[in-house]
Amino acid sequence: MPRKRVRGDPIRGHQRKTMAARRIGGNNQCACGESRPMALVAGTKPVRCAACLRRERGQSVLDSHHVAGKSNSRVTIPVPVNDHRADLSEAQHDWPRETHENPNGCPLLATAACIRGYVNTSDHLLENLNLRNPEVLERLSPFLIERLGPRWWVGTEFEQFAPKRRNPIAKR
């Protein structure tokens, strides 16, 4: 059964993205190809993303992301600035305000924030590291078949990864 993803107010999320896009103006893409409105820096001409702007200034393109939010934990991880702005911090805006801000330091809300932060970070890594891999492999397979033949892996180190098949003759 697929996991049900807990989301905040989708209308509010859309409003945040729309407002960010309006701040940027007509050209909504950096020269590097970044087009997520939250990653683009308002007032830059030509439009620049946070990473390109930092590179131009000789600054680090990594941010320290408070996985559970500053109010709940001191734990940080280094993440690319554009992903921090457009994905991870944006995901925290979907959390209940009381959990994110935790004004009284409630240990239950801090634990909830740790779990939410872990899930958000895990989802981010899954989407950015793993989801393209199947497509790459699925495109590579016909390429290798065309170049090396339909059983190109036989006699190579890749043969160990081939699925084990029953002998069709043995069934008779």
Instruction: Name 56's Cβ contacts closer than 8 Å, sequence gap at least 6.
Output: 48
Give the type of residue at 16.
R
**Residue-level pLDDT at 14:** 66
Task: With respect to residue 73, please indicate whether it lies within any of the assigned structural domains.
Answer: no
Task: With respect to residue 118, please indicate whether it lies within any of the assigned structural domains.
Answer: no
Indicate the residue among 39, 59, 79 that finishes a domain: 59
Indicate the residue among 59, 75, 91 that finishes a domain: 59
Distance CA 109, CA 39 (A): 29
Residues 116-147: pLDDT tens digits? 999 999 999 998 888 778 889 999 999 999 99
Task: With respect to residue 157, please indicate whether it lies within any of the assigned structural domains.
Answer: yes
Task: With respect to residue 84, please indicate whether it lies within any of the assigned structural domains.
Answer: no
Task: With respect to residue 160, please indicate whether it lies within any of the assigned structural domains.
Answer: yes
Domain membership of residue 150 as a residue range:
134-165
Say if residues 47 and 25 touch (Cβ distance below 8 Å).
Answer: yes
Residues 54-113: pLDDT tens digits? 999 999 999 999 999 999 999 999 999 999 999 999 999 999 999 999 999 999 999 999
Q: 84: closest CA among 52, 59, 50?
A: 50
Task: With respect to residue 103, please indicate whether it lies within any of the assigned structural domains.
Answer: no
Task: Summarize the confidence of residues 14-34 as an average pLDDT.
Answer: 76
**Residue-level pLDDT at 168:** 58
User: Which range among 22-31, 99-108, 145-154 shows the weakest confidence by mean pLDDT?
Assistant: 22-31
Task: With respect to residue 126, please indicate whether it lies within any of the assigned structural domains.
Answer: no
Q: Mean pLDDT of all residues in the chain? A: 87
Say if residues 98 and 69 touch (Cβ distance below 8 Å).
Answer: no
Task: With respect to residue 15, please indicate whether it lies within any of the assigned structural domains.
Answer: yes
Task: Summarize the confidence of residues 10-39 as an average pLDDT.
Answer: 78
Indicate the residue among 38, 59, 80 that finishes a domain: 59
Total tally of structural domains belonging to the chain: 2
User: Which range among 4-13, 34-43, 115-124, 160-169 shows the weakest confidence by mean pLDDT?
Assistant: 4-13
Instruction: Note the pTM of the prediction, 2 decimals.
Output: 0.70
